[in-house]
Amino acid sequence: MENMHLDQHISKQFNTDLEKLRTAVLEMGGLVEGQLADAVKAIETGSMRLAEKVQETEDEVNQYEVNIDAQCTEVLARRQPAASDLRLVLIVSKAIRDLERVGDESSKIARMAIELSDEETDPDGFVELRHMSSNVQKMLNAALDAFARFDVPAALKVMREDKHVDREYKSAIREMVTMMMEDPRSISRVLNVIWSLRALERIGDHARNIAEHVIYLVRGTDVRHISIKEIEKQLDQDQ
C-alpha cells in the first residue's frame, strides 16, 4: 500500500474530523508557502511592501498552529483513535510545528530583505540566494504534496533532495566567506545574505521532517535519524 485513505471509518463524524485536520494542515502549508515566496521576492526586488506582508502573516500562521493543535487534542480525547488514525493525528501535531518554523524562517528572510534594501551597492550573493531558494520552495511544495496524497515515494524524493540542498548551502557559504575576505566593506551586507541562506537551509530541513512524518504515517516506521538507503531497504522488505 503506497497510499492511505481516510474513508474507512464506521463513524462519519470521525472521517470528517480527520479530513478537517488534513485540510487545515494544507491550508496552513499554503499560507507559509506564500510567506516563503514573498520573502524571497522581497529580497530580489527590494520590495518593502512584500517584506512587511510576510511579517504580518505571522500572526495568522501562529493562530493556525494553536487551533490545529487544539483540534488534535480534541480528536484524541473524544475519538480515541488507534493505528493509522492515531498516527495521523500525531503527525499533524508535528507537521504544524514544522510549518510554523518555516513561517518564522521566512520572516527572518523578510527582515534581511528590509536591511539589504538600505544598501546602495551591488547585491553580492543574490545568485546563490536565488538558486537555493528556488530549490527549497520546490522541496516544501513537494513535501506538502506528499502529505496531501500520503505518498511515500514522493516523501522519499524530498528526503533525497534535502541532501542536495545541504551541499548547495555549504558551497554558498564558502562563496560568501571569500567575498567578505576580498572586500571587508561588504561584511555586514554579506552576513545578511548568509543569514538568509541559513534560513533557507533550515526550511529545507523542515520540509524533510514533513516528508519523514508522511512515511511514519503510511508505514508506521519512524525514519528519523536513519539514512535514506536504510529506509528504502526497510520499505522494500515491508512490501
Applying CB under 8 A, which residues contact a second copy?
A: 59, 62-63, 65-66, 69-70, 72-73, 76-77, 80, 82-83, 86-87, 90, 93-94, 97, 177, 180-181, 184, 187-188, 191, 222, 224-225
CB of 56 to a second copy, least distance (A): 14
Least gap, CB of 40 to a second copy (angstroms): 21
Nearer to a second copy, 36 or 72 (CB): 72
| Exposed/middle/buried for residue 68 (C-beta within 10 Å: 0-12, 13-18, 19+) | buried
Cell matching residue 232: 528504502
Q: Which is nearer to a second copy, 76 or 148 (CB)?
A: 76
- Closer of 91 and 132 to a second copy (Cβ): 91
Give least dist CB 136 to a second copy, A: 19
Give min distance, CB of 189 to a second copy, in A: 11
Choose between 182 and 236: whose C-beta lies nearer to a second copy: 182
Q: How far is the CB of 111 from a second copy (least distance, A)?
A: 12
Residue (137 or 168) nearer to a second copy, CB: 168
As measured in angstroms, the least distance from the Cβ of 41 to a second copy is: 25
Residue 73 or 134: the one with the smaller Cβ distance to a second copy is 73
Helices 12-45/48-79 angle, 10° precision: 160
